[in-house]
Chains A and B, each alone.
Chain A
Amino acid sequence: MSMKLPKQTPATALSRFALALSLAIGCTTAAEAAEKVLRIGMTAGDIPRTLGQPDQGYEGNRFTGITLYDSLTQWDLSSGDKASVLIPGLAESWSVDPADQTKWIFKLRPDVTFHDGSPFNADAVVWNVDKVLNKDAPQYDPSQIGVTASRMPTLRSARKVDELTVELTTSEPDSFLPYNLTNLFMASPSHWQAKADALPASVADPAARSQQAWAAFAADSSGTGPFKQARFVPRERLEIVANTDYWDAKRRPQIDRVVLLPLPEASARTAALMSGQVDWIEAPAPDSIDAIKARGYKLYSNLQPHLWPWQFSLLPESPFHDKQVRQAANLCVNREELKALLSGQMEPATGVVEPGDPWRGNPSFQVRYDVAAGQKLMQAAGYSASKPAKVKVQTSASGSGQMQPLPMNEYIQQNLRDCYFDVEFDVLEWNTLYSSWRLGAKDPAAHGADATNVSAAVMDPFFAMVRFVSSKALPPVSNNWGYYIDDKTDALVEKARTTFDEQARNEALGELHANIVDEAPFLFVAHDVGPRALSAKIGNVVQPRSWFIDIATMTLD
């Protein structure tokens, strides 16, 4: 049987090239010694994809998305004291056509070039939209659809108007489109084409050509971002270097080189930091935080657009069908004490977003810890100490974003006992819980549960609110697991969806949010704070209220 052996078989090849290589390495290490190198240990199990649409969740976007690429719109990561809002990226301005609200005009930023030198223009935008939406485009790549098309559900096509103007068309009026576009990163069409042209003619099938061209592009990528891809060792490390010609002069990196290492194993990640092998690790293990701080490392954390809730079932047989019961539960959880129990690694949730956020609105129901008020509501609903409300809640033992599900749930269970709740848990494996979330409370997978404990990313209007409360988001279309159906809410969603003025839209979203808090389809419990441990040598670190963080503005001693 024929097997291709690698060029460097350990025994012979290494000894043969040892001398030459050590000379070369000697030279490069000397050069690197003058460089400012930041080494980061990620929780991802592999290097997130570098071809423009990262995988590995938002950690991918954080390290191989916003670093190497830009999108038409982006999140403002400059401040930790206020909510992270949408600001212009590669598009300087955008507006919807008042006559036909499915058409948007985006005015692009001039004088922006890709890392390979080719210009960024309207053709590039159309090309990037086509890579996931146009089956006939040579660059069409189905493997990138999952992290793009599903996050911009209404985008249909793009059309060049002139060099710096693009028209985007949606399937229906959708004012949330600019938020969705933060997920679509702009890759260089010319550079991709060069890769495609270099393929042998024997590869005839267009799908195969596209796949191989993208694979070549991933190994040597070209975007417009503040960093450029320098060295890529698959599964081991990615090195990116500063892009000194970056279009935003304020965000030209002060750090010369950033090395990204996948360190999924928690204790290995901690050891890598403590031994000085890396300067920054994501999500340090809670048990080792004290030891890390004792060594002089700094722990950063901030409110994240993340919600850790119980999502109630509003089906008739569920006790949570009654709004009084839902509100009572929200009044019976001591969130401050829960925060202390988690060593401060959470922020209490009194809504999907907290006061200070532009979408907060003015809810009349105040989520707080008030057992007496909760008991009164429960009594009004017909429950008492001798006649408790029996509820079953689905949760998992672990999972991305689930924080510490078992102790947190047990604590809540104890709290709710004071308000005549008798809580029983159905603990599932995380992936099972997550997939059954889509199927809804009526599905057998729900095991008759009255609530499900699945945490969610809540960065944009659709993700934060619409997918939980719209009647168009019922299972299996989206995450309205509990069958929350309310005409008033639907009307507010429509209004927000079709309000194209930013200020007015924020107000409309505020009304929607206030309505959500009042109706309490969730037990609002906590927001994650995204902890990370950094060496004291790293300066100018701003951790915004976002899933992302800007490395381009950091300094290194």
Chain B
Amino acid sequence: MTAATFTDTRGRTPVVRSRGHGANVLRRLLRNPVAMIAATIILLLVLMAIFAPWLMPADPYATSMLKRLKPIGTEGLPLGSDELGRDLLSRLMLGGRLSLFMGIAPVVMAFIIGGGIGILAGYAGGWLNTAIMRCIDVLYAFPSVLLAIALSGALGAGITNALVSLTVVFIPQIARIAESVTTQVRRSDYVDAARASGASSLLIIRKHVLGNVIGPIFVYATSLISVSMILASGLSFLGLGVKPPQPEWGLMLNTLRTAIYTQPWVAALPGLMIFITSVSFNMLADGLRSAMEVKQ
């Protein structure tokens, strides 16, 4: 069931790799122009987020009801102001921190936890595999948006609760893929030979399983980053997740929604940031996937 789903969504089965594969992947990636542009954009965004407090031209929290909803290019407000008169450029810069965080952190945590669970289940096989995967299936039985909102709604608003909900939503997805790939690898000739020669499980996992498994999981996880950012935005739309007055692109998109009538371009700017970030991560994930494909 798990393997079927995995091949369904991707259309191809993973192949067991040899060592030295990593360097080849990187080389192929570097030669892919789209992926390189995407990676550069991401790097710039991350730098902007990290150095935002020093780069910002104005105080992102200072409100001024007289300067509400000023258009792009206003004196002193290069990208306009939001519904409370705060400088949009500064808020977009500082907002990058929280937005990237809400995109990356849950995925990283799910990667570690879900990947760990999946690899364990895949390698162990037998009843342990069944027990673990059935528990995962119960979580997987919920559509992601539903689970995220239900969990967030239950736990309450706030960044920590949102992080927990999003991580829980992604764990089953990553665990399934990890389990599926690990199961395939476990059955491969390499691993059989290693077992026959008496190598310990841990050594086999480290040498053969991890190398082959991390790749596909990593690619999938990268494509989840944009999903996570957008889900976080959905949570803040419902009043869960990030709360005002913190700058975060998804929240800003929501609070500016009624201003689309009067200042459509200003209201769309946070959306543009989300768009650029999502597309970049997705293009990067695509590039990684292409780089890892080996025609045999």
Interface residues of A (CB under 8 A from B): 266-267, 270, 274, 285-288, 290-291, 340-343, 397-398, 404, 406-407, 410-411, 429
Contacts and interface: CB of A to CB of B under 8 A. Distances in A.
B244 interface: yes
B65 to A, nearest CB: 3
B83 A287 contact: yes
5 A-B pairs with least C-beta separation:
A341-B65, A285-B258, A291-B261, A287-B259, A407-B63
A290 B157 CA distance: 32
Contacts of B157: 429
Interface residues of B, number: 20
B258 A266 contact: yes
B245 interface: yes
B69 interface: yes
B244 A341 contact: no
A214 B191 CA distance: 69
B261 A341 contact: no
B84 interface: yes
Interface in B227-280: 243-245, 256-262
B244 A397 contact: yes
A343 B84 CA distance: 12
16 contacts: A267-B257, A267-B260, A270-B258, A287-B83, A287-B256, A287-B262, A288-B258, A288-B262, A397-B243, A397-B245, A407-B63, A407-B65, A410-B63, A411-B65, A429-B157, A429-B243
A407 B83 CA distance: 10
B1 interface: no
A406 B260 CA distance: 22
B244 A291 contact: no
Nearest to B261: A291
B261 A287 contact: yes
Nearest to B256: A287
Nearest to A430: B239
Given A291-B261, A341-B66, 11 more contacts: A266-B257, A270-B261, A285-B258, A287-B83, A288-B262, A290-B261, A397-B244, A406-B63, A406-B84, A406-B244, A411-B65
A288 B244 contact: no
Interface of A is mostly: helix
B245 A291 contact: no
Most buried by B among A290, A398, A410: A410
A296 to B, nearest CB: 15
Nearest to B267: A287
Nearest to B239: A398
Nearest to B156: A429
B275 to A, nearest CB: 19
Contact of B65 (A290, A342, A398): A342
Contacts of B68: 287
Nearest to A410: B63
A468 B68 CA distance: 35
Contacts of B260: 267
A290 B262 contact: yes
A287 B261 CA distance: 8
Contacts of B85: 407
Nearest to B66: A341
B261 A288 contact: yes
B51 to A, nearest CB: 27
A407 B24 CA distance: 56
A378 to B, nearest CB: 26
A287 B63 contact: no
A287 B84 contact: no
Contacts of A342: 65
Contacts of A410: 63
Contacts of B256: 287
A407 to B, nearest CB: 4
Nearest to A266: B258
Contacts of A429: 156-157, 243
Most buried by B among A274, A287, A404: A287
B179 to A, nearest CB: 29
Nearest to B259: A287
Most buried by A among B63, B65, B83, B243: B65
Nearest to B63: A407
Interface in B105-123: none
A445 B260 CA distance: 38
A285 B68 CA distance: 14
A291 B65 CA distance: 18
A220 to B, nearest CB: 33
A303 to B, nearest CB: 21
Interface string B193-205: 0000000000000
A398 B245 CA distance: 10
Contact of B84 (A267, A274, A407): A407
A416 B61 CA distance: 19
A444 B157 CA distance: 21
Interface string B49-70: 0000000000000010110110
Contact of B245 (A286, A288, A406): A406
A410 B245 CA distance: 12
Contacts of A288: 258-259, 261-262
A435 to B, nearest CB: 13
A62 to B, nearest CB: 23
Contacts of A341: 65-66
Contacts of B243: 397, 429
Contacts of B244: 397-398, 406
